[in-house]
């Protein structure tokens, strides 16, 4: 389990809050290369579905983010969804993506 710096730990807190607020399957947060943060939860609508991280990436991109420094997903499933990883990799090839359980314990 990696030791996170304070800025990445903040992402864990934001992701946990997003998940709890909507009681969603996942919560996610990311920090862009300008230091702005974005948090989102799973979107599951009849006409479209997004993982929490896809939703956070969409919020960042629509706000003009040009890169991602780090991202966190909080999930009870214990694994990162491939679509979430691809959403980040489209913008940032090497940004760390951390997975945490609902208590905030980082798993990878």
Predicted confidence (pLDDT) per residue in 55-104, tens digit: 999 999 999 999 999 999 999 998 999 999 999 999 999 999 999 999 99
Class of 6-107 in CATH: alpha beta
Q: What pTM did the predictor assign?
A: 0.95
CA distances from 71 to 43, 45, 51, 58 (A): 18, 24, 13, 13
Q: Which of 93, 39, 99, 98 is nearest to 68 (CA)?
A: 93
Predicted confidence (pLDDT) per residue in 31-46, tens digit: 999 999 999 999 999 9
Burial 47-62 (b: 16+ CB within 10 A, else e): eeebbbbbbbbebbbe
What are the residue boundaries of the structural domains of the chain, listed by start? 6-107
What is the end-to-end Cα distance of the chain in Å, rounded? Answer: 5
| 18 has pLDDT over 70 | yes
Under the banding of pLDDT at 50, 70 and 90, the label for residue 1 is low
Which pair of structure tokens corresponds to residue 24? 């969603």
């Amino acid at each position: 389990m990696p030791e996170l710096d304070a800025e990445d730990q903040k992402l864990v807190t934001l992701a946990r809050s997003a998940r709890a607020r909507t009681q969603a399957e996942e919560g996610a947060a990311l920090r862009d290369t300008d230091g702005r943060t974005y948090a989102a939860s799973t979107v599951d609508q009849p006409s479209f579905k997004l993982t929490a991280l896809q939703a956070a990436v969409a919020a960042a991109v629509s706000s003009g983010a040009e890169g991602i420094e780090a991202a966190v997903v909080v999930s009870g499933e214990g694994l990162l969804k491939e679509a979430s990883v691809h959403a980040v990799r489209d913008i940032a090839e090497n940004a760390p993506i951390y997975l945490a359980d609902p208590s905030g314990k980082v798993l990878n």
